[in-house]
Amino acid sequence: MAPTLFHYPLVPIDDFLKHERKERYKLLVGIGVVVLLVIVVMALGTLLIIYVKRANSEDCQEGHRAVMECRNATHLLEQKLTLAQDGFRDAEAQVATYNQTVMTLMASLDKEKAHSLDVEKKVEELEGEITTLNQKLQDASMEVERLRRKNQDLSAKIADQKDSASSLKDTSSAAKLLLLIPLLGLGARLL
């Protein structure tokens, strides 16, 4: 390839100087920005080195361990609290069940007391009736005994009279009959 000739138009010197100033200004600004960035990076690097040294220091490590222990203790306490709350809820449920059972038993006990009082009243009434019937039985026994003696007396009199007269035999049979009629009536009354 053959060399080519470049033809540049002629530029006035004022324009050239203005253009050169602009280029220098841009270069200075660029260098300033780079220097500023280097300073910022170095400052940040220095701060990072200081932070890393402090983070790896013994005091910081102990603080980190203490924080981890606190977290572990807090976690264990939260678990224990959860278990205690579950136990408390279970206990509350049992208490509610026990209270319901107690209420049911109290109602049942009240019914039994009322029934017991009714039974006691009936027993007292029956004891009163038994006492009355025992008294009536004693009275009837005494009446039977009295009538038996009377009957024995009458039988003895009748036997005496039998021996004395045979004609009176028909009369004594009638008297026996008359005597037996009230005795039969008394026996029917006792039954």
Note the pLDDT of residue 21: 76
| Residue 43 lies inside a defined structural domain of this protein | no
Residue 3, by phi and psi: left (phi above 0), alpha (psi -120 to 50) or beta? beta
CB contact set of 95 (below 8 Å; sequence gap of 6+): none
Q: Would the CA dihedral through 145, 150, 154, 159 be positive or negative?
A: positive
The C-alpha angle 62, 64, 69, rounded to 5 degrees, equals 90
Q: Which domain holds residue 115?
A: 57-190
pLDDT of amino acid 25:
84
Amino acid at 187: G
- Number of structural domains, the chain? 1
- Residue 190's nearest CA partner among 147, 128, 141 is 141
Q: Kindly state whether residue 12 falls inside one of the protein's structural domains.
A: no
Q: Residue 62 falls within a domain, yes or no?
A: yes
Query: Other C-beta atoms within 10 Å of 150: how many?
Result: 13
The reply to whether 47 falls in a domain is no
Cβ atoms of residues 169 and 176 within 8 Å: no
Domain-located, residue 174: yes
Q: Please state, in angstroms and rounded to a whole number, the distance separating the CA atoms of residues 30 and 37.
A: 10
| pLDDT reported for residue 106 | 95
What's the DSSP call for residue 56?
T
Distances in whole angstroms, Cα of residue 71 to Cα of each of 64, 65, 75, 76, 77: 11, 10, 6, 9, 10
140 falls within a domain: yes
| Domain assignment present for 114 | yes
pLDDT at residue 23, rounded to an integer: 81
What is the DSSP secondary-structure string of 4-43?
A: ----PPP--HHHHHHHHHHHHHHHHHHHHHHHHHHHHHHH
Domain annotation covers residue 17: no
Q: Give every residue of the chain whose pLDDT is below 70, as ranges.
A: 1-19, 165-191
- DSSP character at residue 164: H
